Structure 1
Amino acid sequence: MDADIEHLYRQRGIEGVRPRFAWPLIRLAHTGPLTITELATELGKTHSAISQTVAAMRREDLVATEPGADARTRRIILTARGRSLVPFLEAEWRATEAAVAELETEIPYPLTRVVTDLEAALATRPFSERIAALLQAPDDSTARPELP
């Protein structure tokens, strides 16, 4: 789905914008400047994830930083380019949510339930542990999947 959204951006002449940028840009437009910690809290993401996203958005001239309340903090602000994209990103966000809702009417298992069920399963045993255990399993060439 992200690849399709990125394709839509490119069709609209929006280069260098990834779907993961939309929600942080929208939040910054509505809240004003925030530190990475504040933005992470607003979005329910980790500091590390938001730090990486902000760095990528800076490279695309969507955000900049300014001094924060003390010498240790920096606040993230929208650039003119970032601000100019917010109306489209808000419309795309609403359209994406509507498309997901439409898609859920076409399948017997709601996508939101899939995400919830996956999160619950991964909370009991993380994906990295599952992969590591399979890497340690005895080599059974008959059970090996074809590599691309």
Structure 2
Amino acid sequence: MDAEIEQVYIERGIEGVRPRFVRPLIRLAHTGPLTVRELAESLDRTHSAVSQTVAAMRKEELVTSEPGPDARTRRIDLTERGRSLVPFLEAEWRATHAAVAELDGEAPYALTSVVDELRRSLERRSMRQRVLDHLVPPR
């Protein structure tokens, strides 16, 4: 699905944007500059995941990174290019949610319910632990 959403961007002349960039870009547009930690907390993502996403967005000239209030932090802000894309990305976000709702209606079970159930299951026992439980040492 992500590849097809990315294709929508390309068809609209938007190069270098990935679906995982959308929420952080929209959040920054609404909040202004944030540290990676603040952005991660606001998106309910890990610091590491957001740090990697920010690095990829910086490479695509969607965000800038400047020293924060202390030497250990950096404040992330939108570039003009990043800011100019937000109205389209917000429209795409709404369209994607509508498409997921449509899929939920067509499937014999709701995609969103399955994802929620999987998330709860993985919170009870991580994928790492599940793999380890099934891992048979070589003889």
C-alpha distance in structure 1 between counterparts of 2:41 and 2:132, whole Å? 31
- 1:60-104: CA deviation from partner (whole Å, max 9, x where unpaired): 100011221122221001011101110110000000001111111
Report the alpha carbon displacement of residue 30 of structure 1 after superposing the two structures with TM: 0.5
TM-score (norm 1): 0.87
**Which is worse superposed, 38-47 or 129-138?**
129-138
2:42 matched to 1:42?
Answer: yes
TM-score for the superposition, normalised by structure 2: 0.92
**TM-superposed deviation, 1:138:** 8.1
Tell me the distance in 2 between the aligned counterparts of 1:74 and 1:127. Answer: 32
- The unaligned stretches of length 5 or more in structure 2 are none
More divergent stretch after superposition (9-18 vs 19-28): 9-18
Superposition CA RMSD, Å: 1.7
Query: What SS does the aligned partner of 1:136 have?
Result: coil
Please state how far the C-alpha of 1:124 moved relative to its aligned partner: 2.8
SS of structure 1 residue aligned to 2:109: coil
More off after superposition, 118-127 vs 6-15: 118-127
What letter is aligned with 1:85?
A: L
Amino acid at match of 1:72: R
What is the number of equivalent residue pairs in this alignment? Answer: 139
Counterpart AA for 1:25: L
> Is 2:57 the partner of 1:57?
yes
Please state how far the C-alpha of 1:118 moved relative to its aligned partner.
0.5
**Residue equivalent to 2:23:** 23
Could you tell me which amino acid in structure 2 is paired with residue 7 of structure 1?
Answer: Q
**1:117 to 2:125 alignment:** no
**1:2 matched residue in structure 2:** 2
Identity %: 68
Flag structure 1 segments of 5+ consecutive residues without an equivalent. 140-148
Amino acid at match of 1:112: T
Q: Where do 4+ consecutive residues of structure 1 move more than 6 Å?
A: none
Max Rg structure = 1
User: Does structure 1 residue 79 correspond to structure 2 residue 79?
Assistant: yes
State the SS of the aligned residue for 2:16: coil
SS at match of 1:117: helix
**One-letter identity of the residue aligned with 1:55:** A
| CA offsets 1:14-59 (integer angstroms, 9 cap, x no match) | 1111100000000000000000011011111111111010001001
